[in-house]
Amino acid sequence: NTEKVELLLSELKSVPDLEIYQKTSDLKRFSKDFFDYSPILIDELKDCLADIVVRPLSVDAIIVVAQMCNKYSTPLTLRGSGTGNYGQCVPLNGGLVMVMSGLRKIRNFDSKSGEITVESGCLLRDINDELIKHGRQLRLLPSTWRSASIGGFIAGGSGGIGSVRWGFLRDPGHLQALEVITTEDSPRKLELNANNSEALNHAYGTNGIITALTLTTAPYVEWQQIVVDCFDLDQAVDLLSKFSCAALELYLGTLLEKEIVTCLPSGFGKPSSKHRILLLVSPDGVSTIERLAKSAGADFDDLGPENLKAGTGLRELSWNHTTLHMRGIDPNWTYLQMLLPQPELEMMKKLKSEWGSNLLWHLECVRQNGVQRLASLPLVKWQGEEAMNQLISQCRDLGAVIFNPHTITVEDGGLGVIDSDQVQAKSNFDPKGILNPGKLKGWNLKVN
Ligand code: FAD
């Protein structure tokens, strides 16, 4: 193995437009993501290490790397910005980690369709800034939108800010086309239409190297930040659902249990010991939010428009950023992800009565299969793997759909179902199975 790595390295050194990293500190840095949110994944992934890290600056360099990894049957794991939570870009079997951040061109904006074509290493922040110049914005963003890449979001993310209106990344209509490099004996550069791109969407980079993407966008809205504080959790959940279903345009609807609110950094609304709803709403929806909040006896606070440059807006408290802030206070907080069954409060109360202050509710409004629903990323105090598994089965028994953030495969982190199109795409584009080995369960079952 060491001999193969040495041979590969000596060939890589002659590739134009390719940065190579070999220092142990770099190998370690580029072999990790944010899997430490899960104590289960820490045990599983902490010792995984790339043999070599490369950073191509052109598509041509990627084609050569793909061909060389094929030649030496070396595992090739792609990395955007490395902000994933499930070790998606962690090399399980060593080999090469390829950092995609050198591919950052915005290739085209089509003013008629509003579609934008960008290279996969572009940061979501930069794409959004570009779109705003054209009166548009991204439909969906992770709360890591300042640092995450679009390639990593499509291959490893699921949704986030915007999901209340636009659902999830795999819903048809977001991803319109992909440019992909295969890892066959002679790598090909493919242009995939929306249909053929589906199998690579949320496949953790196991079945193709994405070099460029075409996405649909939404008209720009200057989102207004509203905070609504409620004395009762029942009232807060009820109001959140009302906001989500009202005739108004929301970009974010987050609910944080009061114990979370007291731990939040300052500057995100008045200090409060109540349950808090965070909203991003279009200017013409503010008065409706105010009316509904005040009619329910809740406190209403209008924080005005977002300042995207400052990075201090409500969106920085939402989705897994809530977990980030809580872990900053106590790293024993971890989390779960689920779609709540309806009526939500029944399950929420049952679990609360059993888990008490070891479980704090964090809800997000989402559109699931065209219907307004509430998802949750509850904070869970770490009490060992057995307790976590018990909580997961309890949630399932009560009707929640769990997206388990304590597992490493595409399928286990989703609905647990093997997608034969994803496996077929891997057979077609990565026949030797060198891309991110170990992460696609359907492929593991096929070859073992
Ligand atoms: P990486 O972590 O580098 O990679 C993710 C996956 O994509 C890996 O499997 C990698 O191999 C693959 N990949 C990367 N580039 C390519 C490519 N060019 N071709 C093929 N495969 C590729 N996620 C959400 O969905 N929504 C959220 O709201 C959200 N909030 C978060 C908050 C915090 C605090 C943290 C730590 C994480 C959060 N995440 C969220 C997870 C993560 O930040 C996002 O999914 C992000 O978009 C990943 O982008 P990245 O560039 O960091 O990808």
DSSP annotation string for 334-368? EE--EEPPSSHHHHHHHHHHHHGGGEE-EEEEEEE
For the segment 308-329, the average pLDDT, to the nearest whole number, is 93
* Ligand 1 atom nearest residue 169's Cα: 25
pLDDT beyond 90 at 271: no
pLDDT higher than threshold 80 for residue 267:
no
Average pLDDT over residues 300-325: 93
Q: Are 430 and 183 in contact (CB under 8 A)?
A: yes
Which pLDDT band, with edges at 50, 70 and 90, does 268 fall under? confident
Region(s) of the chain under CATH 3.30.43.10: 2-99
CA of 144 to the centre of ligand 1 (A): 8
Q: Where in the chain is the domain with CATH 3.30.465.10?
A: 102-219+414-447
Ligand 1 atom 21: residue of nearest CA:
205
Pick the CATH number of 102-219+414-447 from 2.60.40.10, 3.40.309.10, 3.30.465.10, 2.40.70.10: 3.30.465.10
Cα 169 → chain centroid = 9
The reported pTM is 0.97
Q: Tens digits of per-residue pLDDT, 385-422?
A: 999 999 999 999 999 999 999 999 999 999 889 999 99
Which of these ranges, 23-37, 76-90, 266-280, has the smallest mean pLDDT?
266-280
Average the pLDDT over 279-290 and give the result.
Answer: 98
Q: For the residues 27-36, what does the mean pLDDT come to?
A: 97
State pLDDT tens for residues 75-85. 999 999 999 99
pLDDT band for 270, please (50, 70, 90 cuts).
confident
Predicted confidence (pLDDT) per residue in 166-207, tens digit: 999 999 999 999 999 999 999 999 999 999 999 999 999 999
**Residue 300 above 90 pLDDT?**
yes
- Using CA atoms, how far apart are residues 96 and 147, in angstroms rounded to an integer? 22
Write the residue with the smallest CA distance to atom 29 of ligand 1.
142
Residue 263 burial (C-beta neighbours within 10 Å; 0-12, 13-18, 19+)? middle
Atom of ligand 1 nearest to the CA of 161: 28
Residue 272 has pLDDT above 90, yes or no: no
Q: What is the ipTM of this complex?
A: 0.99
Q: In this structure, are residues 440 and 410 in contact, taking their beta carbons and an 8 Å threshold?
A: yes
Ligand 1 pocket, residue 159 CB under 6 Å: yes
pLDDT for the residue numbered 257: 97
How much is the pLDDT for 1?
Answer: 79
Class of domain 2-99: alpha beta
